[in-house]
């Protein structure tokens, strides 16, 4: 088993121990912490995602961003594991999709829609002190990050995690891209010089 696979297994096992109340309580705290991150506070368009299961909750944050008038893009998984995008128009417009996901039921905007985002919220399992993120291994967000890089787009890249998922080291591969910040219930931490000052 690879280093990444071993770390994923351990982190997913830890998440399975969380209760629904743990997840609900953390979602509210994460929303408040993320809403104070300057790049999210100033953003006109945010590419986000709908949390499922024991993932750090995004539902409160999605509603908060939309209430502020932010244009929120949500991913739609395509057959080849790439991501299309559609607008978030409220929880009543989310429908069940493959792999237990929830997706918006509106018009598809195309994979290039993410290039309009001022900030991108990325799902993940861990991040280290260099900003290297460990995803679930499906490769969908690797494609998104490669698309942003090839287009010369530089939105703020932010991952939402639980406090104990900021780890000493994430195994890195050539295609991996570092994120700019992580938001946990303890606050926000920045990784790239010249980006946002620390917020807690």
Q: Is residue 85 part of a domain?
A: yes
Q: How far apart are CA 185 and CA 163, in angstroms?
A: 6
114 has a pLDDT exceeding 80: yes
Structure confidence by residue, pLDDT tens digits, 125-173: 999 999 999 998 888 999 999 999 999 999 999 999 999 999 999 998 8
Dihedral sign, Cα of residue 198, residue 68, residue 144, residue 164: positive
Work out the mean pLDDT of the chain and round it to a whole number. Answer: 91
| Dihedral-angle region of residue 146 (phi above 0 means left; psi in -120 to 50 means alpha; beta otherwise) | alpha
Could you tell me the CATH number of the domain that includes residue 59? 3.40.50.10420
What is the pTM (predicted TM-score) of this model? 0.91
200 has a pLDDT exceeding 80: no
Q: Is residue 157 part of a domain?
A: yes
Q: Is residue 105 part of a domain?
A: yes
Confidence of residue 194 (pLDDT cuts 50, 70, 90): very low
195 has a pLDDT exceeding 70: no
100 has a pLDDT exceeding 90: no
Q: Is residue 100 part of a domain?
A: yes
More confident residue, 35 or 110: 110
Q: Is residue 197 part of a domain?
A: no
78 has a pLDDT exceeding 80: yes
* Contact criterion met (CB below 8 Å) for 166 and 154: no
Q: Is residue 184 part of a domain?
A: yes
Q: Is residue 7 part of a domain?
A: yes
Structure confidence by residue, pLDDT tens digits, 40-54: 889 999 999 999 999
* Contact criterion met (CB below 8 Å) for 153 and 90: no
Mean pLDDT value of segment 83-104: 94
Domain count, the chain: 1
Residue 197's pLDDT is: 38
Mean pLDDT value of segment 181-191: 92
State which residues form the domain around 145. Answer: 3-190
Residue 50's pLDDT is: 96
Q: Is residue 198 part of a domain?
A: no
């Amino acid at each position: 088993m690879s280093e990444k696979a071993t770390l994923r297994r351990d982190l997913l096992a830890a998440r399975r121990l969380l209760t629904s109340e743990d997840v609900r309580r953390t979602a509210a705290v994460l929303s408040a912490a993320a809403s104070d991150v300057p790049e999210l506070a100033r953003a006109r368009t945010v590419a986000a995602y709908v949390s499922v299961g024991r993932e750090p909750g995004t539902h409160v944050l999605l509603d908060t961003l939309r209430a502020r008038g932010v244009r929120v893009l949500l991913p739609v998984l395509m057959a080849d594991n790439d991501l299309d995008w559609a607008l978030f128009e409220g929880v009543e417009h989310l429908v069940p999709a493959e792999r237990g996901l929830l997706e918006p039921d509106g018009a598809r905007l195309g994979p290039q829609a993410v290039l309009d985002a001022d900030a991108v919220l990325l799902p993940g399992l861990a991040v280290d002190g260099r900003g290297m993120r460990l995803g679930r291994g499906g490769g969908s967000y690797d494609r998104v990050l490669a698309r942003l890089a090839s287009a010369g787009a530089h939105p703020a890249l932010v991952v939402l995690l639980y406090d104990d998922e900021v780890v000493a080291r994430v195994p890195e591969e050539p295609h991996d891209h570092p994120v700019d910040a992580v938001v946990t219930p303890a606050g926000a931490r920045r990784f790239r010089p010249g980006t946002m000052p620390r917020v807690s």
